[in-house]
Structure 1
Amino acid sequence: MFALVLLTMLPFVWFGMIVAISFIETPLKFRAPGMTHALGVGIGRLVFTALNYVEALLAAAIVAAWLFAGELVSAMAGALLILSIAALGLQMLVLRPAMGQRTKALAQTAVTHDGAAPVKAKIGTAMHIAYIASEGLKVLALPIAGILIVLAVAA
């Protein structure tokens, strides 16, 4: 029974966290009065590191529940969950570390800058675009997987 609760709840919790942080908090952060680009990306580095670790815990709980109640996870729901977990793995192992190096360099530039001109950074790097795309993939896959699992429970 507990596995059933986790399987029907966690994909939606994970989805909500991504929407709240990636698509609401992050863009709004840069509109806050006094927020510099360097400060914003420094905060983002911390927030997305924490988010990814929480996502990894959610993914592990989903996989554990799946092992106990596998009959509720159709092939399509399973493929969508695996796709989400793979996107998270790509973010944690490849994209975020590469972006982290760049944001650390930006933060050091801001610290040593003489203040005469604002520090500008290239915003749309390929890594950032790939990260946003992987977030979009999870935002599509997770609720569909969750709905499919809920429908399997209801059947």
Structure 2
Amino acid sequence: MAVVAAATWVWLGMVLAISFLEAPLKFRAPGITTVLGLGIGRLVFRALNIAELVLLAIVGIGLLVAPGGAGAVWLAAGAAGVLAVQLLAVRPALSRRTAAVLRGEDAPGSRTHLVYVALELLKVGLLVALGVIALS
């Protein structure tokens, strides 16, 4: 379970650092326009999502090799489910809006970011719980 714990805490750290620190702060940096911030955000979140998939695979393999009980499996499945919703439903909607802004179009406001943040908070809770169980 040490590998599961390590992958979970790394995953949690990446989500916290990027979603709750880098993403909002980049728009406060001097000289960063909305277009530039969105372009950077696309690259950063694409990299984060790839890293999350790799870490999820490590967690999954770790749970197969050294089962941690039903609680760990359910928490990992919950985090996987949240990530799947983000990647398959929310990110495409955000990407369409970002692409429109990057093309110079006047894209209407969207609550999709709030949905993404809510899912990130849920994922953070699941990862904290999984990390604690994996260390037990």
Question: Shift of the alpha carbon at 1:43?
Answer: 1.1
CA distance in 2, matches of 1:96, 1:45: 10
Q: Deviations over 1:59-89 (max 9, x none)?
A: 011101111111xx23222222111111111
> Which residue in the other structure is 1:104 paired with?
99
Is residue 75–residue 130 contact of structure 2 (8 Å, CA) maintained in 1?
yes
Question: Shift of the alpha carbon at 1:8?
Answer: 1.8
> Which residue in the other structure is 2:129 paired with?
144
Normalised by the size of structure 1, how large is the TM-score? 0.82
Is residue 74–residue 149 contact of structure 1 (8 Å, CA) maintained in 2?
no
> Which residue in the other structure is 1:35 paired with?
32
Unaligned runs of 5+ in 2: none
Unaligned runs of 5+ in 1: 111-118
CA distance in 1, matches of 2:94, 2:107: 16
CA distance in 2, matches of 1:16, 1:132: 16
Identity %: 41
Which residues of 2 match residues 1-155 of structure 1 at below 5 A? 4-70=1-67, 73-109=68-104, 122=109, 125-151=110-136
Q: Deviations over 1:109-138 (max 9, x none)?
A: 07xxxxxxxx7862xx23211111111111
Question: Shift of the alpha carbon at 1:28?
Answer: 0.7
Normalised by the size of structure 2, how large is the TM-score? 0.92
Q: How many residues align?
A: 136
Is residue 37–residue 120 contact of structure 1 (8 Å, CA) maintained in 2?
no
